[in-house]
Amino acid sequence: MLQLQPVPTIITFDCYGTLVQWHAAVRSAARAILAGRVTQAEAEDRSPTLADRLRSAAVERQQHPPYCDYKSVLRSALAVALAEAGHTATPEDEGTLLSTLGRIEPHPDVPAALTRLRARYRLAIISNTDDDLIAGSIAAIGVPIDFVITAQQARAYKPDHRLFLHAYEIMGVTKQETVHVGMGQFTDLKVCHELGIRSVWIDRAGEPPNPNWPPDAALNDLAGLPDLLSVA
């Protein structure tokens, strides 16, 4: 159980990966895109590599100004990932990617955990995305979220401090009144460490922890989060 002094009024979350099945969705999109070019067996075999490269290329693009919307980031990342795999991205490929990522189902542990947390705290999402792209995934979660703060609104991507600072301004709270919950070490734990934000790492992938950005607590999923945050 975390020592929550001062007591938070709002719990903020990363969305993709933390709350919804982002990695599975990207692999599904990669598999569908490859299926038009290679055999089904090859598409199944190569989709994890393509998905990994697509995600890393997207993170790389986010870190280089000027700011551009997340759908453009994804299109650019897809072009890079496919080119490195020996293919050329088409508008149909882009459509497949964006439609797949337009509604991502939550991890099974998420709805119940958020429902319990809502009994005590307000809930918010701080996400590297566009407002319209995340809307379907928020609906899929099925639990009311008080604030959804996106990179599109702040015109900055995590771990840029501006996204978190914008979120606190919109929510009308200070960082001392929050706890942030996220899966991404670079995108979430890094900025929490730099700004002194209390954080809980959701280590769904069994990653080695980065000693430079230690969280206040770590869990494998959200099931134990209400107890960690003292929810009856």
Q: What percent of the chain has pLDDT over 90?
A: 95
- pLDDT surpassing 70 at residue 62: yes
Domain end (from 48, 72, 101): 101
52 and 17 together in one domain: no
Our count of domains for the chain comes to 2
pLDDT in tens, 136-152: 999 999 999 999 999 99
- 155-177 residues labelled b (16+ CB within 10 A) or e (exposed): ebbbbbeebbebbbeebebebee
Domain end (from 77, 101, 125): 101
Show Cβ contacts of residue 166 under 8 Å, excluding neighbours closer than 6 positions.
149, 153, 154, 156
**pLDDT of res. 3:** 67
pLDDT in tens, 165-178: 999 999 999 999 99
Domain that holds residue 53: 22-101
- pLDDT surpassing 80 at residue 134: yes
In a domain, 62, yes or no: yes
31 and 84 together in one domain: yes
Q: How far apart are CA 227 and CA 111, in angstroms?
A: 15
**pLDDT of res. 214:** 96
Domain end (from 75, 101, 127): 101
CATH number of 96's domain: 1.10.150
Q: Residue 176 gets which letter from DSSP?
A: G
71 and 41 together in one domain: yes
Average pLDDT of 69-97? 97
pLDDT band at residue 232 using 50, 70 and 90 as cut-offs: low
Q: Would you say 59 and 185 are in contact if contact means Cβ atoms under 8 Å apart?
A: no
Higher pLDDT, 197 or 36: 197
SS3 181: strand
The 10 Å Cβ neighbour count of residue 146 is 13
Place of tokens 């942030």: 180
Average pLDDT of 36-51? 94
Instruction: Say what the pTM is.
Output: 0.95
In a domain, 3, yes or no: no
CATH number of 188's domain: 3.40.50.1000
- pLDDT surpassing 80 at residue 45: yes
In a domain, 1, yes or no: no
119 and 175 together in one domain: yes
**pLDDT of res. 6:** 84
Ordered alpha helix ranges (H), the chain: 22-35, 40-62, 70-84, 91-101, 110-118, 131-141, 151-154, 161-171, 190-195, 225-228
95 and 127 together in one domain: no
- pLDDT surpassing 80 at residue 5: no
- pLDDT surpassing 70 at residue 216: yes
In a domain, 224, yes or no: yes
Residue type, 202: I
222 and 113 together in one domain: yes
Show Cβ contacts of residue 43 under 8 Å, excluding neighbours closer than 6 positions.
31, 32, 34, 35, 37
206 and 115 together in one domain: yes
Q: Residue 12 gets which letter from DSSP?
A: E
pLDDT band at residue 36 using 50, 70 and 90 as cut-offs: confident
155 and 61 together in one domain: no
